[in-house]
Amino acid sequence: MSDPMRPRASLRTAVVWEVLKDALDRRVKATGRDVLDVLDTGGGSGNFAVPVARLGHRVTVVDPSPNALFALERRAAEAGVADRVRGVQGDAHGLFDVVEPGGYDVVLCHGVLEYVDDPAEGVRNVVAALRADGVLSLLAAGLGGAVLARALAGHFKEARQALQDPDGRWGEGDPVPHRFTAEQLTGLVEDAGLEVAAVHGVRVFADLVPGVLVDTEPGAVDALLKLEAAAAEVPAFHSVATQLHVLGETRDAGEV
Ligand SMILES: C[S@@+](CC[C@H](N)C(=O)[O-])C[C@H]1O[C@@H](n2cnc3c(N)ncnc32)[C@H](O)[C@@H]1O
């Protein structure tokens, strides 16, 4: 899904995309079906939904923003996958007002849990959308990455505030309502009845290195992508990642 015209964009998505693509492949093999039913809650304008549809899967995007759904429709048409992408206005709390529970092989919840009023209920809802053998791809803002970023920018009071705040916020002006540790996220996933199959740290370095070092040095983006991929798997780096990705599986899916 990396865009050769926007190499820096791939730094935001590469780790998650590789994990997700692998999870989709494993579901295809386990179910014997080439076309999976995928739900993207808070899928926005289709950063993941459109590439997933390009793999041949059917994707339903639930998002409260009409503008995002409009952009999604246009993007899906441009990518030639309009017949496989359905946008529905709704949100994680009222998910089953707009989609059927238990109807999806894979559910994505990327960059959404930060904004829902009750993250535990949000995770329970996305898990309830899964079939008996299904996979959840959960991506949310990491606490440690925000603390580190504030401190390195010289905002030491805000860094301490984020560290000590139960929601990981650095102050009134913080646009993100909730941040999470890896333990909090895996706890939410397990409490909702899934097994944690993998945890990855996302954007461990990418948001901290000065852009000029990435943009001017030949081969720097590629080398940074490889470094991010290597660090993503190492638990010690999870505590400083900008985002955390958790792959959860229903017990049936894990046994296949
Ligand atoms: C940071 S964007 C992420 C978009 C997409 N998932 C991605 O990874 O590129 C957050 C999205 O969550 C949506 N959103 C906000 N509150 C939500 C809620 N309560 N339930 C579902 N989606 C929500 C927003 O409209 C927005 O499209």
Whether 174 is covered by a domain: the verdict is no
Of all protein residues, whose CA lies closest to atom 11 belonging to ligand 1?
42
Number of domain units in the chain:
1
Ligand 1 centroid from CA 123, angstroms: 14
114 lines ligand 1 (CB under 6 A): no
Whether 164 is covered by a domain: the verdict is no
Q: Which of 73, 115, 245 to mutate to test the pocket of ligand 1 (most atoms within 8 A of CB)?
A: 115
Q: State CA 167 to chain mean position distance.
A: 19
Q: What pTM does this model have?
A: 0.95
Whether 95 is covered by a domain: the verdict is yes
Residues near 111 by Cβ (< 8 Å), separated by ≥ 6?
Answer: 42, 44, 139, 140, 141, 243
What per-residue confidence (pLDDT) applies to 255? 55
32: amino acid identity, one letter: G
Shortest-distance atom of ligand 1 to CA 44: 27
Q: By C-alpha distance, which of 211, 201, 237 is closest to 7?
A: 211
pLDDT tens, residue order, the chain (256 aa): 544 445 567 888 899 999 999 999 999 999 999 999 999 999 999 999 999 999 999 999 999 999 999 999 999 999 999 999 999 999 999 999 999 999 999 999 999 999 999 999 999 999 999 999 999 999 999 999 999 999 999 999 999 999 999 999 999 999 999 999 999 999 999 999 999 999 999 999 999 988 888 888 889 999 999 999 999 999 999 999 999 999 999 977 755 4
Of all protein residues, whose CA lies closest to atom 3 belonging to ligand 1?
111
Phi, psi for residue 153 in degrees, rounded to 5: -85, 0
pLDDT by residue (tens digit) across 214-255?
Answer: 888 889 999 999 999 999 999 999 999 999 999 999 977 755
Consecutive H or E run containing 188:
helix 182-191
**How far is 11 from 111, CA to CA, in rounded Å?**
15
Whether 254 is covered by a domain: the verdict is no
Phi, psi for residue 196 in degrees, rounded to 5: -85, 115
Helices 119-128 and 182-191, packing angle to 10 deg: 50
Domain that holds residue 37: 9-142+180-249
Whether 152 is covered by a domain: the verdict is no
- Pair 129, 102: CB distance under 8 Å: yes
How many other C-beta atoms can be found within 10 angstroms of the C-beta atom of residue 240?
A: 20
CATH of the domain at 99: 3.40.50.150
243 lines ligand 1 (CB under 6 A): no
Whether 165 is covered by a domain: the verdict is no
DSSP string, 21-74: HHHHHHHHHHHT-SS-EEEEET-TTTTTHHHHHHTT-EEEEEES-HHHHHHHHH
42 lines ligand 1 (CB under 6 A): yes
Q: State CA 97 to chain mean position distance.
A: 23
Ligand 1 centroid from CA 112, angstroms: 5
- Tokens for 3? 């865009």
Whether 168 is covered by a domain: the verdict is no
pLDDT by residue (tens digit) across 158-173?
Answer: 999 999 999 999 999 9
